[in-house]
Amino acid sequence: MYSSILKTDQLLFLLFFTFLMIIWKRVKHEKIVVLIFSFLFSYYIFGPNFKAKFWLIDDHEIFYFLGSAVDPKGWGDFFSILIDQTEVGLFGVSTRYRPSYYFLRLVEVFLWKDNATLWYLFRFLILVSFVYSIILIFRYFLSTPVALAWIFTCFSFTYWSDIYSRLGPGETYVTLGVAMFILSTFNWEKKVSRSLGVTILQVLSLVIMIGSKENMFLVAMLPFLFLYDRSAERYKFKYYHLLYVLPILFSVVVVYAVIKALSLNPVDVNGNSAQISDRIRQIFGLMNNPLILQPTILGALLVIVLIVRRKIVQFLATYRQILFILFFLMINIILNIVFYGGDLPQNNRYDFPTSILYILYFIIIVGIIMRLLFQRKKIKKGLFVGFVFLIFSSIGFSSYSINEIQNASRKNTKRTLALNQMIGKMQLEPKDSTGIIYVRNFTEFEPADSFLQYAKYYNLQLRLALDVDEVKYYSSFQDGLMWYLRNLSIHGNKEKNLKPLGDLKKDKGVNCILYHFGELSFVAIEKYTFCKQINLQLISY
């Protein structure tokens, strides 16, 4: 019967957590068990990264900030780098504006420096705290074993590897902010914490989220959803709650910086049209998106149940706070989809936080519908509701996707170790060796530029030059980047330890190493006739 609905792994998943739900009352030290689970689950999907090194894409920025392995920059350079070498100093010019992201990134740069293990250890701790915090928030609506099951469902999307198996994504810091907010706001007894210290932590976490990803600006309103005390049936506002104005002002600054920059650019950083008319058109076309269609159907179903059961007035009185939370979740789902040009889900890091918001929306609204449809006796027992949610969790569970997240960690380790080994070999190359970095097209701009940064940081002794293919593009932006590389190829650059390609061609009978990022459409020894012999070195990225 179930085999036609659930796959084998999903059926076993359902049976295991049903059994766990039945025996859970016998479990002692529940909080410690959940914490251990958070560590073990995080280690399973992330563990291989502890052996990883730095990667070509994004990680080169770390070495850009440090400057040189021989004489790295320090804390005294912090603010000059923050203003002069990041988008923080490009207010209203850069279409990205993430002050918190670069502040935290520079803190990490000067704490961990070029120790990759410390970089990944910090991300592991962020992941553990994030997993634990999501379980904590799920426990407000589900029993603990069911909340644990839904963690597996949440991570049944391979995009998590795009967040935690890399050192560059801003989403990683957003999950840190989310964890900080949840852990400071909610406690294990399912109560909302309120104090000056809690407020300061909330404000700090919101600033981290807003300043790490521009599409997070609406989270500035989160604290106001929890000022209402249901037990006292009134809002508990204290003088220190005035601090909540700070994240709102910070959001205004970030949004204004992006809007000002977009007014000067026809497209945003993701290549989508920045025209207001195009964004409005996207809103009207969102109903075709399952992330909008399914929550809308659930909302309509709730309204129908309320009308049939004649409990609209009672619902508004009892669930007013929950209604605001549902509205907040829905608005943020729409915002994120519009932010990415209507193109979600993408199965990459851009799906965060939309997928988590959708899951939380689903759990809340289905729970309310069940409370309205079924008798209190069934609801209070918990097993019936828990089993229903376990069925939904099993449908969304994918052991394949979770294993793929771990496989992505292994692949990250493999590729970074290969890059680290190659750079080690380059450091041993003598001064009379000649290295040619060949760039075929625009897609290889970023890896080529990153590769040059590594060469500069380690002060490689071999003579390096760029060879850029003469390819024209329809985009002036793409052509501009390629011209930048061609200019480096022609004139070289002393700061990057880069020689003009023409100067290297004057030498005859030299030993060359050709570094390339993809398949070659030519015979290397015929193209570079000044080389006595050529060693081909593929750089995967």
More confident: 424 or 281: 424
Helix (H) or strand (E) holding 438: strand 434-439
Query: Which two tokens mark 267?
Result: 């497209």
Average pLDDT, the chain: 89
* Confidence grade of residue 3 (pLDDT, cut at 50, 70, 90): very low
Residue 442, pLDDT score: 86
> Distance between CA atoms of 485 and 483, rounded to whole angstroms?
5
Q: What is the pLDDT of residues 482-525, one digit of tens each?
A: 889 999 999 999 888 899 999 888 888 888 999 999 889 899 99
Q: How far apart are CA 14 and CA 529, in angstroms?
A: 66
Per-residue confidence (pLDDT) for residue 70, from 0 to 100: 84
Alpha-carbon torsion 196, 202, 205, 210, what sign?
Answer: negative
Q: For position 2, what pLDDT does the model report?
A: 37
Mean pLDDT value across residues 386-392: 95
Segment 462-481 shows an average pLDDT of 80
> When comparing pLDDT for 502 and 148, which is higher?
148
- Average pLDDT estimate for 516-537: 91
Flag whether pLDDT at 349 surpasses 80.
Answer: yes
- Range name among 50-64, 405-419, 432-446, 462-476 with the lowest pLDDT average: 462-476
Using alpha carbons, select from 90, 14, 136, 89 the residue that is nearest to residue 386: 14
**pLDDT grade for 282, boundaries at 50, 70 and 90:** low
If you ran DSSP here, which 8-state letter would residue 229 be given? E
Contacts of residue 477, defined as CB under 8 A and 6 or more positions apart, other chains included, come to none
How confident is the model over 122-149, as a mean pLDDT? 97
Q: In Å, what is the CA distance from 145 to each residue of 15, 30, 152, 242?
A: 12, 10, 11, 38
Other residues' Cβ atoms within 10 Å of the Cβ of residue 249: 10
Over residues 161-178, the mean pLDDT reads 96
Q: Which tens digits make up the pLDDT trace of 19-78?
A: 999 999 999 899 999 999 999 999 999 999 999 999 998 899 999 999 988 888 999 999
| Across 39-53, 138-152, 209-223, 315-329, least confident range | 315-329
pLDDT of amino acid 269 = 58
Name 94's Cβ contacts closer than 8 Å, sequence gap at least 6: 87, 257, 261
Average pLDDT for 354-376:
90
Lowest mean pLDDT among 92-106, 143-157, 203-217, 225-239: 225-239
Q: Where are the alpha helices (DSSP H) in 186-238?
A: 196-212
pLDDT at 377: 67
- Least confident interval from 110-119, 394-403, 521-530: 521-530
For position 1, what pLDDT does the model report?
Answer: 31
Q: What is the pLDDT of residue 320?
A: 82
Whose tokens are 């004139």? That residue is 491
What is the reported pTM?
A: 0.92
User: What is the arithmetic mean of pLDDT over 357-364?
Assistant: 96
What is the pLDDT, as a whole number, of residue 268? 61
Confidence of residue 381 (pLDDT cuts 50, 70, 90): low
Residue 499 near residue 492 (C-beta atoms within 8 A):
yes
